[in-house]
């Protein structure tokens, strides 16, 4: 089935999808291609990226479009009642079950069900869902009668389901049954200038809603908007535009300085890198930034130690440099071909004593080993002082001290033990 660009544009207009990025258009194309079939679909993407819109495309472009469509957030239904919600229950099957009730799979027979946050579904409910997908059969809570249903399931998740499979929190057979056709909805930061288009659309909507003049962005405001990573995606951008539309009563032209004023400071750090180990330990981006800075400091100290070794072991200079090759990655291409100052000439005589050019004879030799040790100690000393000050300021309440320091409470607890600051 060939989908033309004009057909994609038509579908985006129909379902209110704003943007022209290739990743977004590809997601729409896949949804249009799979819609006429009865295949199960797994939509993946970050929270707030607009996954529900794609489930509606799949339903309304299918033969089930006249049937019922129900969207369910699996994470918002308590574990004790989700089976009853999805599959129904018989009267007296549990406390509070005063009458029989039909579940969503019975009500939407002939239609479609969108299961958002499928990764939050309990394992017991996963087994029941797998039976529906395999045989179209289910049993109400408190009953032994097998019922049939013809429902298409479209699932969505903002977490890595394969990781949950490895952790034993999600059934592997259900994962492969759901992901017959995967659709990836890109986050806003991967969609180029789509954020600017969405800003304009939301600005017009809220201007009409609140009967005010629509806000606009200056050129530097547009650039600032595109540089922000929007961890909350479209949902966050919409809330941001609404906030500015309401609070910016005098000036409706928003420049970079004004825009940054409305952007949350705690979320404005760049996405440095993604490391599986750091994610598993729930490090914040501020923690990662500190780690990068301390790694840089360590490299500087290592370089100082290397220079000291070269000073004391001139005959092994080549070998020492090879052993520390990682410290010189990318150095050659960054060196200036013409030095901007007179270089220090080092002579290596046969007796092993280091000699300098006459220009350097009168200069004092700097004790590098002492500075290296002092630098290492100064980092720990400053960090310890900051932690003590934060604890005193907040009456030893770690939660508030951690917030002032910009680190997690767990990281603060670890540092307190490390520096023996516990009373």
Look at residue 51 and tell me whether its pLDDT is greater than 60: yes
User: Average pLDDT for residues 190-211, to the nearest whole number?
Assistant: 95
Arithmetic mean of pLDDT, 210-237? 94
The percentage of the chain sitting over the pLDDT mark of 70, rounded to a whole number, equals: 74
Whether 296 has a pLDDT exceeding 60, the answer reads yes
Q: Is the pLDDT of residue 410 over 90?
A: no
Half-sphere exposure in the Cβ direction for 221 (13 Å, CA): 18
pLDDT at res. 69: 97
Per CATH, domain 191-267 is 3.40.190.10: no
- CATH 1.10.8.60 domain position(s) in the chain: 191-267
- CATH number at 5-186: 3.40.50.300
Give the Cα separation of 88 and 100 in Å (integer).
8
Mean pLDDT across 154-182: 95
CATH 3.40.50.300 residue spans of the chain: 5-186
pLDDT digits (tens, 9 = 90+) for 123-137: 999 999 999 999 999
Asked if 74 and 116 touch (Cβ cutoff 8 Å), the reply is yes
Rg of the chain (C-alpha set): 31
CA 346 remoteness from chain centre: 51
Higher pLDDT: 247 or 322? It is 247
Residue-level pLDDT at 406 = 75
Give residue-wise pLDDT tens across range 255-277: 999 999 998 764 444 444 444 44
Measure the CA–CA gap between 250 and 248, rounded to whole angstroms. Answer: 6
Give the number of other CB atoms < 10 A from CB of residue 73. Answer: 14
pLDDT of residue 310: 67
Mean predicted confidence (pLDDT) in 169-176? 96
b or e along 250-285 (b: 16 or more beta carbons within 10 Å of the residue's beta carbon)?
eeeebebebbeeeeeeeeeeeeeeeeeebeeeebeb
Identity of the highest mean pLDDT range in 206-220, 282-296, 337-351: 206-220
Q: What is the mean pLDDT of residues 32-48?
A: 95
The reported pLDDT for the residue numbered 279 is 43
Quote the pLDDT of residue 364. 45
Per-residue model confidence (pLDDT) at position 363: 43
Instruction: Quote the tokens at residue 135.
Output: 């045989």
In tens, the pLDDT along 278-295 reads 444 444 455 556 556 666
Angstrom CA distances, 215 to 142, 194, 209, 278, stand at 56, 17, 13, 40
pLDDT at 190 over 90: yes
Average pLDDT on 92-98 reads: 85
**Neighbour count for residue 167 (Cβ, 10 Å):** 9
CB-CB contact of 77 with 208 (8 Å): no
What is the band of 348 on the pLDDT scale with cuts at 50, 70, 90? very low
Structure tokens at 8: 């994609």
Q: Model's pTM, two decimal places?
A: 0.63
User: What pLDDT is attached to residue 321?
Assistant: 61
Q: How confident is the model at residue 413 (pLDDT cuts 50, 70, 90)?
A: confident
**Which band of pLDDT confidence, cut at 50, 70 and 90, is reported for residue 338?**
very low
Does 2 score more than 50 pLDDT?
yes
pLDDT average, residue stretch 60-70: 96
CA distances from 3 to 32, 50, 206 (A): 8, 21, 34
Number of C-alpha atoms within 13 angstroms, CB side, residue 286? 14
Whether 241 contacts 258, CB under 8 Å: no
- 188: nearest Cα among 10, 71, 18, 16: 18
Mean pLDDT value across the chain: 82
Distance of CA 417 to the CA centre of its chain: 30
For residues 238-242, give the mean pLDDT.
Answer: 95
**Those residues with Cβ within 8 angstroms of residue 343's Cβ, 6 or more apart along the chain or in another chain:** none
Reported as a single tens digit per residue, the pLDDT across 227-236 is 999 999 999 9
Q: State the chain's maximal CA–CA distance in angstroms.
A: 101
**Mean pLDDT (whole number) for 412-419:** 82
């Amino acid at each position: 089935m060939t989908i033309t660009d004009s057909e994609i544009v038509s579908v985006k207009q129909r379902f209110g999808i704003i943007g022209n990025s290739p990743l977004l258009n590809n997601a729409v194309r896949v949804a249009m291609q799979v819609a006429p079939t009865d295949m199960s679909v797994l939509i993946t993407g970050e929270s707030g990226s607009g996954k529900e819109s794609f489930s509606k495309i799949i339903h309304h472009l299918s033969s089930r479009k006249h049937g019922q469509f129900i969207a369910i957030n699996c994470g918002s239904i308590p574990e004790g009642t989700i089976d009853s919600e999805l599959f129904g229950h018989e009267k007296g099957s549990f406390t509070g079950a005063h009458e029989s009730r039909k579940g969503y799979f019975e009500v939407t027979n002939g239609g479609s069900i969108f299961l958002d946050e499928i990764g939050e579904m309990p394992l017991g409910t996963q087994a029941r869902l797998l039976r529906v997908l395999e045989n179209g059969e289910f049993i109400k809570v408190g009953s032994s009668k097998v019922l049939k249903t013809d429902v298409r399931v479209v699932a969505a998740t903002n977490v890595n389901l394969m990781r949950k499979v490895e952790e034993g929190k999600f059934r592997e057979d259900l994962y492969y049954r759901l992901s017959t056709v995967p659709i990836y909805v890109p986050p806003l930061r991967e969609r180029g200038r789509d954020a600017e288009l969405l800003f304009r659309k939301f600005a017009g909507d809220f201007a009409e809603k609140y009967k005010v003049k629509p806000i606009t962005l200056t050129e530097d405001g547009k650039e600032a908007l595109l540089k922000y990573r929007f961890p909350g995606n479209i949902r966050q951008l919409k809330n941001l535009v609404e906030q500015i539309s309401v609070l910016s009563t005098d000036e409706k032209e928003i420049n970079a300085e004004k825009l940054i004023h409305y952007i949350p400071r705690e979320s404005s750090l760049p996405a440095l890198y993604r490391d599986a180990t750091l994610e598993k330990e729930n490090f914040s981006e501020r923690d990662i930034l500190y780690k990068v800075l301390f790694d840089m400091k360590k490299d500087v100290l290592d370089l100082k130690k290397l220079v000291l070794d070269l000073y004391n072991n001139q005959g092994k200079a080549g070998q020492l440099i090879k052993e520390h090759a990682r410290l010189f990655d990318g150095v050659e291409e960054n060196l200036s071909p013409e030095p901007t100052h007179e270089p220090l000439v080092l002579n290596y005589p046969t007796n092993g004593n280091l000699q300098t050019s006459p220009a350097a004879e009168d200069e004092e030799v700097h004790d590098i080993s002492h500075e290296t040790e002092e630098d290492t100690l100064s980092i720990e000393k400053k960090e310890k002082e900051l932690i003590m000050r934060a604890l005193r300021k907040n009456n030893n309440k770690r939660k508030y001290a951690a917030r002032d320091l910009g680190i997690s409470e767990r990281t603060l607890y670890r540092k307190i033990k490390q520096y023996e600051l516990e009373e």
